[in-house]
Amino acid sequence: MIRTRSLTKDFVVSRTQTVHAVRGISLEIEPGELVAVLGPNGAGKTTTMRMLTTLIPPTSGTATVAGHDVVAEPAEVRRQIGYVGQGNGAGHTQRVRDELYSQGVIYGLDRRAARQRCDELLEALDLKELTARKVSDLSGGQRRRLDVAMGLVHAPSLLFLDEPSTGLDPQNRANLWEHILAMRTAYDMTIVLTTHYLDEADSMAERVVIVDHGEVIADDTAETLKANLAGDRIVVTTTEDAAHRLAQLASQLPGARDLVTDGAAARVEARVSDGPGALPELMRAAEQSGVRITTAQVHRPTLDDVFLTLTGRSLREAGSDQSTAAPDSAPRKDAA
């Protein structure tokens, strides 16, 4: 469905400064996949998506989307794909149904088909009550559902979602996802989305592509990434004098690494390959050597732990540094 080869994008900011927003991304996405592209602000997620959707031409490399080259046949690509950008696709002065209808006609539906399609989508995305409402009067969640409806008007086989749920409250996010997943089953779609919500990538996507500094640094299922690159973390506390002995015991657990001993708090942390199995083992060993464990916890890894392992930085804090941040082409696009 998508194949890119060493895709790059440079933005010339001034005569002396060129920003390498994307530096050689090669991706292969099969029909039916649901792929999340995850990365900090400025990592190159949106820039990549803008190249794949023909909005900007790549500096070098090639990309084939839905069977067509994005540079040679942009019109064919546009016909095949659905796109929900970061902003609001629906014009604010338009009425909900008008805008959806226009979108249908744009994609070549005749009037009757467009009207019928409007009804279907308004119903499916819970917008039926709002057909005569002006877009500017909709709530954030409603507007986002309309954007998704517009992206689906021609039943595309490939849908791009650029930060679909940014700015929505948890309830609206969950609701939006319910609709997206339902549409995915109904239309047998391939979905590629960018997000900086870790939990979203984790729970929704079947495959996670982690991008940093314009490059893919990891690409697998969330489960595999977490197991291979992060692992479980156990945190145990003991009595004041026993922290170092406990740390020594913990270091002998299978796959133990990243050992942190906090003497003052009498706390020991370690990554292990199997947290739930390792903890009882550690407790037994502690008892045998006369170390009393006061509290014990197992933390399952998150994608943030994966990112931390890969880059030494946390995804939650901050985007990439200045040298790789894509320039703002508009305020709303700052999350390139």
Partner 1 sequence: MSTASAPAPAPAPAPSPARTRKTLPRPAQRNLLRDTGIVMMRELRPVLRDPFSLVFGMIQPLVFLALFGPLLVGSLGGQAGGTIGGNVWQWFVPAILVMTALFGTSATGSNLLFEFQTGAHERMLVTPLSRPSLLIGRSLKEMVPLAGQAVIIIAVMMPFGFRLYPAGALAGLAMLAVFGIGLGSFSYALAIAVRKQEWMFWVVQQTLIFPLMILSGMLLPLETGPGWMRVAAGFNPLAYVVDAERALFEGELVSSTVALGWVAALATAAVGLTVGIRAMIRSGN
- Residues at the interface with partner 1 (CB under 8 A): 50, 53-56, 75, 78-79, 81, 83, 85-95, 97-99, 101-103, 105-111, 113-117, 119-120, 123-124, 131-132, 147, 150, 154-155, 182, 185-188, 328-330, 332
Shortest distance in whole angstroms from residue 48 CB to partner 1: 14
Quick one: tokens of 239? 């009595």
The phi, psi pair for 178, rounded to 5°, reads: -55, -45
Shortest distance in whole angstroms from residue 211 CB to partner 1: 20
Whether the CA torsion 287, 291, 296, 298 is positive or negative: it is negative
Angle value at C-alpha 298, between 293 and 304, nearest 5 degrees: 140
Shortest distance in whole angstroms from residue 221 CB to partner 1: 25
Query: Please, are residues 79 and 251 in contact by the beta-carbon 8 Å criterion?
Result: no
Quick one: tokens of 145? 């559902």
The residue among 288, 244, 281, 299 whose CA lies nearest residue 266 is 244
DSSP alpha helices (H): ranges in 73-169?
Answer: 74-80, 96-106, 111-124, 140-151
In the complex with partner 1, the residue whose CB is nearer, 98 or 281, is 98
In the complex with partner 1, the residue whose CB is nearer, 35 or 90, is 90
In the complex with partner 1, the residue whose CB is nearer, 29 or 282, is 29
In the complex with partner 1, the residue whose CB is nearer, 91 or 263, is 91
Shortest distance in whole angstroms from residue 33 CB to partner 1: 17
Helix, strand, coil shares of the chain as percentages rounded to 5?
Answer: 40, 25, 35
Residues 287, 115: Cα–Cα separation, whole Å:
72
- Alpha-carbon distances of 40 from 20, 25, 47, 173, rounded to whole Å: 15, 16, 13, 20
The phi, psi pair for 105, rounded to 5°, reads: -65, -40
In the complex with partner 1, the residue whose CB is nearer, 87 or 276, is 87
Shortest distance in whole angstroms from residue 85 CB to partner 1: 5
In the complex with partner 1, the residue whose CB is nearer, 241 or 328, is 328
Shortest distance in whole angstroms from residue 249 CB to partner 1: 56
In the complex with partner 1, the residue whose CB is nearer, 61 or 231, is 61
Query: Please, are residues 50 and 70 in contact by the beta-carbon 8 Å criterion?
Result: no
Shortest distance in whole angstroms from residue 329 CB to partner 1: 6
